[in-house]
Structure formats: structure tokens, C-alpha cells
Amino acid sequence: MAIVLDPRLIERVEAALDEIRPALQVDGGSVEIVEVTHEHVLRLNLLGACTDCPMSAMTLRLGIERLIFERVPEITGVEAEGSCEAGWV
């Protein structure tokens, strides 16, 4: 993780991701935090089957992004590496 503004913020993001990881793991994928920028943009790395899944953009938008914004409202945006639409916000 390149930038850590507040360890408690990272803990809350991890807790939110832990809620969705089991669904990703069922299909052979997962997600990890790359960084949270100074602007509170969460950057994620998609792992396993998520890296080349044609549905990864929808999973990110409807699953991960929605959950993060709900659980950690300080996060202003979500970007993902390794997705078909890397860099979406």
C-alpha cells in the first residue's frame, strides 16, 4: 500500500471488502487494496479470475463500489487495476 492516511480508514475498507470477498472467491477471484490516495480515492487490484472476467466492471460498480461508499463514506472514488475497464471511477 503506497499511501496510508489513517489506519482506521484502511481497516474499515478492509472490513467492507471482507464482506464481498467470499462472493468473488466462489468464482476464483479476489480483490486487494493498492492504496488510498490523499484525495481518498481507493485503488484496488483485482486478483485471480477477476483480472480477465468480462463481468468485472459490473462487479466493481454494482458490488464493490456500492459497498465501499455505503460502509466508508469518506472514500470519494474507486479505481481498479487489472479489470477490463481499469481506472473507472
pLDDT of 57 strictly over 70: no
Q: Examine residue 48 and state whether it is found in any structural domain, yes or no.
A: yes
The CATH number covering residue 57 comes to 3.30.300.130
Using alpha carbons, select from 84, 74, 8, 82 the residue that is nearest to residue 44: 82
pLDDT digits (tens, 9 = 90+) for 26-48: 878 888 999 999 899 999 988 87
Q: Examine residue 12 and state whether it is found in any structural domain, yes or no.
A: yes
Q: Examine residue 1 and state whether it is found in any structural domain, yes or no.
A: no
pLDDT band at 58 (very low <50, low <70, confident <90, very high): low
- Residue 49 per-residue DSSP state: G
Q: Examine residue 88 and state whether it is found in any structural domain, yes or no.
A: no
Check residue 89 and give its pLDDT. 35
* Residue-range definition of the domain harbouring residue 20: 7-81
**Phi, psi values for residue 30, rounded to 5°:** -170, -175
Q: Examine residue 56 and state whether it is found in any structural domain, yes or no.
A: yes
Beta strands in 1-89 (DSSP E): 29-36, 41-48, 77-81
Q: CB-based contacts of 5: which residues, under 8 Å, 6+ apart?
A: 36, 38, 40
pTM: 0.77
What does the alpha-carbon distance between residue 45 and residue 35 come to, in Å, rounded to a whole number?
A: 9
Q: Examine residue 2 and state whether it is found in any structural domain, yes or no.
A: no
Query: How many domains is the chain built from?
Result: 1
